[in-house]
Structures are given as C-alpha cells and as structure tokens.
Structure 1
C-alpha cells in the first residue's frame, strides 16, 4: 500500500455508523423538552431572526450620532459584488461634491469595474503562465481557477485601477443590465479565461518562447475585451463635462480624460492611505505588515499590503478621521448579527443559543481559523457617536444596497460589533503613530493565496 492508501485505511477504521437507537433517544428527549418544542413551533412558522432578535438591543441602537458627515443619497450596487468599488468611489465623491458644489454626484461604478475586470484577466493569465508546469489540481492553480472573475477586491487593488484608468461621471458610463447583475457575465468570462489557461499551458508544453506566449495571451485578452465590452459598453476616453450646481449655476469644462477628470475634481491622493487590519491570529504580530500571494489586479500596480494593528487603534483613528470631516472606507464580515431591514448591527443582536439551547459562542480568532468569518463586504463610515471621554458607542455606515433599509440606506453599527466582525479600515498614513509609520517600510509577511486575509470584500 502507498502512504495515502495507508492513511485512508486508518481513517476508515476509526469511523462509526450513526446508531438508529441513539437517534430514537434524541427524538424522545426532544419531544419531552418543552423549551425545544416551543422553539420548534416558533421557528417552523417564523423566520429564525425574528424569533431570536434581542429587542432591547435593537431599541437601544439609536441612529443619532454626535458626529455625522453624510447629507447625500446612498448608492445601490444591486446584484453585484462591487461594494469595494462603491465604497471607494463614495469616498472620492465626498471630495468631488465639494468641488462641483453639488449634493448628489456619483462616479461611474461601471467604468471602475470594467477596468478592474480586464486588468484582473491580464493578471490571471500571467499567473497561468507562471504556473503552467504545475498540475492544475495542485492547491494554488486550483484555487486561482476556482476564484476567477469574482467582483470583490481590496483597497490597494482599487487604488491601482484609479491611478491607471481614472474615473468618470456616472452619466458618461452608466449602469448596464450586466453591471447591476454580474452573474452571467462573470460566468462567460470564467469559461473564456479557463480556456485561455489551457491554451497557455499547451503553448508552454510545446516549448513556446516568451514572445509567442505574449501573442497567445494578447489573443485571449482580445476575446476578454470583446465579451466585457458587449456587457458593459465602451469606456469614454476624452469628454467634456457640464452640470448645474446646487445654486443652479451652469458649468462646462474639459476636455478631460478619465485621469485628468479625477485629478481635477478630487484632491485626495489615494497613495497617502494605508489599510489597517485586525488579524486576530497571534502568530501574526501587531505592528507588522502582511500581504497575500497572487492577490492583485493591475500588473505593476500597488501591492496589497495590510498593517496589522490593535482594533482599539483602528477605532481611534477612524473616529478622529470622521470628527475631522472625512469618511472612512472599511471592510467587515457583514452578515453575522445584522438586521438588514432596520439597518442595525450589534454583537448580541440575535440570541441563537437561546433559541436552540446550543452553545454557539466562538472567538474572532476561532472564526477566522475555522472558516467561519472573513472580510465579505466594504462600506463607508460617515458618522460616529462619541461619549464624553471620546469613546465610540455607535458608528454610522453608508452601505451600497439602495435606500430601502435602515435610514434610507444608512446603517447603524453598535461598537460591540466592531470588535467582533470588523477586519479593516483605510486611513491616512500620517495619522499613524511614528512606530507604525516606520513599520510600513518593512517587508510584509506573505500569506498563502487562500489565507482568510485574502478574502475579497
């Protein structure tokens, strides 16, 4: 026998079948337990969250804030995973609103996604060339092939997109059916790019040199471009822009490129920012930098780098940023302990253990290690409620799920939730203590591609 066969035999010898008599005993104990029966009667007729909600916590999580920035409308990513792009463009539009003197303005999220997708295709194909002699069933190529062409991303990835491709007003590259509902487009792109991966692997196998591989790659990218443009439209290259400001004064300017328009109407230098994370695993020291292998979109763009810090410091810097009038981009595990209709998060918002009679308590570290929690969504902090000593009690959040829920699309986060489910905030580097600014110059620890810190918001 091989070692693998020996291991399989040993594992099989420890298996035990489910005993019908044991199940019968469980059933008898269940029906004899009035609490369990009451919970069954409730949950079989009513949604679990409606049964488990902690009403006292819900009522106590009020929407008022001591410091609030937003006076604009929330956006809507619809059936797409573009939250990270929406959150960054919402940060940028806060600056553009001031310059344009308009309350409501949006950059084109479709434009940003278009360039992320085609850049990401190019990045993926370079990975496939690098791994062409690796068995496609090995963990790394299998992971990259499986994760291909999702909508999510990280802060440094969008910085790379905006630095290279700029941004345009939404009216110049508006939403399409596919930008608002990306599933079918992404499926077609995955099929086409996986075919491209096979083509590149075959070219390497027959001894193709670098020039031939580049020719093959460009042919694959041309097909990617065709599919993407059919779904999203042709991005503008040169344009004029005209608008009426909130005083009803008319303005016309240009011509612009997307790069010059972004530079003209925002003063934010995105390279001045850093992504702070709370990685709860003790082997990743606070004050150290982290990155994730093969995580990126723009070749020669910004490396995805996190600075791992204490969560209390994340709170302090984020709160002070809001007090100073600037929103804060952040990433979190959005779904746990969230009441979507009311737009509320709190660590104890739902008492599932009370409904089930089963202890479901875990630590943040345990959730990360065992696949229970990771970054899944990015949004923008637009307010904070501070008590008399400056400690945050609640946070106001601009989501990108439309205006139907919460306070017309703005949500309220109890500070207890921040501790448990927040993973990252983006702040200006000069807000960091001196020792952490120095830490940004250190070589980051490279985590494997499938590490939870590589999850795309």
Structure 2
C-alpha cells in the first residue's frame, strides 16, 4: 500500500471545492448548525401528519430515561395495553424496574454458565471475546421479556418504582461489568484447574449472591406480594389486599405470550427467506426459551403488522432508530436528512449490505400502535416510543413507509396471523448464527 496524501493532491482538492460558489454557503451552514440540520428535508413534517385511520387505543408513553431497556418497555406496552382496555385504565403502567432487576440477575448467571462452558477455549477465541465484551448489558429482545414475565410475573409501577440507578444504568453497568469479568476469570481458572462441579457451582452461588446485593442496592427489593389498588377511569376500584406478581399476571392478563413469534427482515446473501435462525450464546436466562427468528421479505413484515393492529393488538418492533430520525420532533422518514444532496455524494447501499458491513444494526425497540392506509396501502405508521412525552407528539412518533422498509428489522407477531406455509416454516430446526452476527 503506497498511496499517500501529498501537497499536490491537497491543492487539487482545494481547487475543486472552490470552483462552485455554493460550496462556501453550504460550508458556513454546516459549520453553524451541523450536518443533519442543514440537510433536513423541510417537506417531511407536512407529509408525516400524525393522524391515522387505524389505531390501537393506548395511553401515556413511558420513559426509559438513560437506560437501554427499550425492549422491556415495548414488551410491557403490549401487556399494559390489554389491561388498560379490559379494565378501563388508560394510563396504567407496569413496573419495568421489577423485571429489569431479575433480568440483570439472570444475565449474570447466564454469563457464568457460558464462561464455564467455554473455559477451555483460549482467551483470544472470538466467542470468549464476545462473552467478555458484553457480560451484562441492559439491552434485550422480545423473548427475553417473555421468559422474565412467565417466570417472575408482573407488578404495577407503584409496587416497584424506578430508582436513580434503574433510570440511569451507566454506573450499575460499570460496577456489574467489572464484577462479572473478574468472576469470569476466576471461573475459567477453576475449570482449567480441574476443580469439581460441586466446587464450581458453590462459587457461582457466592458470586450470584454478590450480584443480588448490588441489584437490591441499585433497584430495590422486589416484592413477593403487594397490595393491588388501581382506580379506573370510570371511578371504580380494582383491589386485592395481597397478591403475588405471578397471581397478578394469571388473574388479570389473558395475553398468551407463547403465541407470539419474531419475524425478521435480513435480506442478506448469508440468510435465506423462509428459514429459522437463532444466535449462539445469546440470551438472558438459563432455562429460558431460545430466541428464534423467521426471515421473511419486508413486505410480509408490513402485512403482518397491519393485520395485527387491525386486530386491536400493538406490535413490538426492533429497528435502527438512529438513522433518518428526529428525536424531539418525533419523525422517522427515509428522506429526512438529504446528505447525498448536501455533499454531492452517493452513500446508498442495500439493506443487506448495511447489515453485512456494519452500517446498520438493531439498536432500539418501539411499538407500532397505528397505521394510515390509502387504498389499502400504508403511507405512515404511529409509533409509541419510550423516551417520555417531551419528544414527538406527547411521546408518539410518526414513521413513513420508506423508513419501515429501510430501518425495521424485527416484528413480533401472533401466530394466528401467519399463513399455513409460514406456520410450517416455524417447525424447522433453527440455523445457528455466531454471537457476533449482524442480527445479534
């Protein structure tokens, strides 16, 4: 590799730039207000009218604050929406902190078990590296939430409220990360020193006890039972003197979590449509159900999502929210930032190329709660986010059809909306992907 930048090349760059007088105006604009503001398409706001002819009744949005729990907030939106409609409590909310507590504890155990299983691999092994790179983050997927809900039940937000640590997880992540990595080193040494399974399991129990303490200090002590007292919008009371989280789930919610499946759109040469995929060593719970994904064309994800909303059910969806979005205005448009026009460049790549070459990834989870159809075709969607009411239309975003095509990767759909062929596809043995795969 011998090519280098020299003074002649720089002189040519300078000359070419100054040949167009408009470059100086654009240079000043970008310097003063930034790239995205300069490139923002002013027509987008008028096209993303926040009205929809199909909507699922939902209440106030929640706020994950400075945490990565979007997947959990979006998952609980499905449950609380059912409760709100059934019991006439529009702004009812479940405790995300309650399930987050157990998520972090379960993830610690999941990490320890994976470290034990891979202890004989060198530290330079890519799988070992992947495990130690993210031992216990607060991110996750629909299946993670499903397993937690079934195992631990749910509680209203007042029964286990947010704390400073749950609302801003950076400090907790820092502490728990160093604990897990230190413990992971010790577990690798115990295995390689041929210590007995009993000795290793006893040490894991001690490690988990320490993790539990940090969780309690940070998030609070989860209730084994609580007083149920909720006032409905029609001035009635829902009351139980004492009820456990699992009893609350069983008695007040009818949603069958196991009826929902992950449908992804990963249009890559390495992944076929109509096939089931799973990711190795990726999960949050020992004994939990393995997350599997059915890969289908984006048009099918859209059709299924619309069918589910027509059935008065919201849709959990995974997406790359940082692309072509405006946080405070609540806009998600495929043509929001006209970067190519601003700089006179071509940055277009296919969705599959974006996944293959790390330009795109699933970074966020939100909830579809409405759609606007014209002659049966969608032109915009209503999105419930978990960033509080200060963003968008009281927390709701508006997404155009192009953004759905480009930046939606995963929707959670009730199996009753799948075709007979798609139901057969679900019976396949999953193709196992590496922990560093683009959909992990």
* TM-score, normalised by the number of residues in structure 1: 0.94
Give the C-alpha shift of residue 255 in structure 1: 2.6
1:447 counterpart = 2:417:
no
Give the C-alpha shift of residue 254 in structure 1: 4.9
- The 5 Å alignment of 1:52-91 reads 52-91=39-78
- The 5 Å alignment of 1:292-441 reads 292-388=279-375, 390-441=376-427
CA contact (8 A) 1:430 1:437 kept: no
What does the per-residue CA deviation read over 1:172-231, in whole Å, with 9 as the maximum and x for residues that have no partner?
110000100000101100000001101101111221111111011111111111111110
Give the C-alpha shift of residue 347 in structure 1: 0.8
1:26 counterpart = 2:3:
no
- The 5 Å alignment of 1:103-182 reads 103-182=90-169
1:203 counterpart = 2:220:
no
CA contact (8 A) 1:96 1:265 kept: yes
- The 5 Å alignment of 1:238-257 reads 238-257=225-244
CA contact (8 A) 1:167 1:261 kept: yes
CA distance in 1, matches of 2:95, 2:166: 11
CA distance in 1, matches of 2:34, 2:325: 14
Give the C-alpha shift of residue 132 in structure 1: 0.9
CA distance in 2, matches of 1:357, 1:78: 37
Q: Secondary structure of 1:366's partner?
A: helix
* TM-score, normalised by the number of residues in structure 2: 0.98
- The 5 Å alignment of 1:224-235 reads 224-235=211-222
CA distance in 1, matches of 2:222, 2:30: 50
Give the C-alpha shift of residue 71 in structure 1: 4.2
Task: Determine the structure 1 residue equivalent to 2:30.
Answer: 43
Task: Determine the structure 1 residue equivalent to 2:266.
Answer: 279
Give the C-alpha shift of residue 440 in structure 1: 0.7
CA RMSD of aligned residues (A): 1.2
CA distance in 1, matches of 2:2, 2:260: 52
Structure 2 stretches lacking a partner, 5+ long: none
Give the C-alpha shift of residue 57 in structure 1: 2.7
Give the C-alpha shift of residue 366 in structure 1: 1.1
Which 10-residue stretch deviates more, 232-241 or 168-177?
A: 232-241
CA contact (8 A) 2:110 2:285 kept: yes
CA distance in 2, matches of 1:18, 1:121: 49
Give the C-alpha shift of residue 23 in structure 1: 1.7
CA distance in 2, matches of 1:258, 1:427: 25
Structure 1 stretches lacking a partner, 5+ long: 1-13
CA contact (8 A) 1:61 1:414 kept: yes
CA distance in 1, matches of 2:137, 2:10: 42
CA contact (8 A) 1:274 1:426 kept: yes
Task: Determine the structure 2 residue equivalent to 1:7.
Answer: none
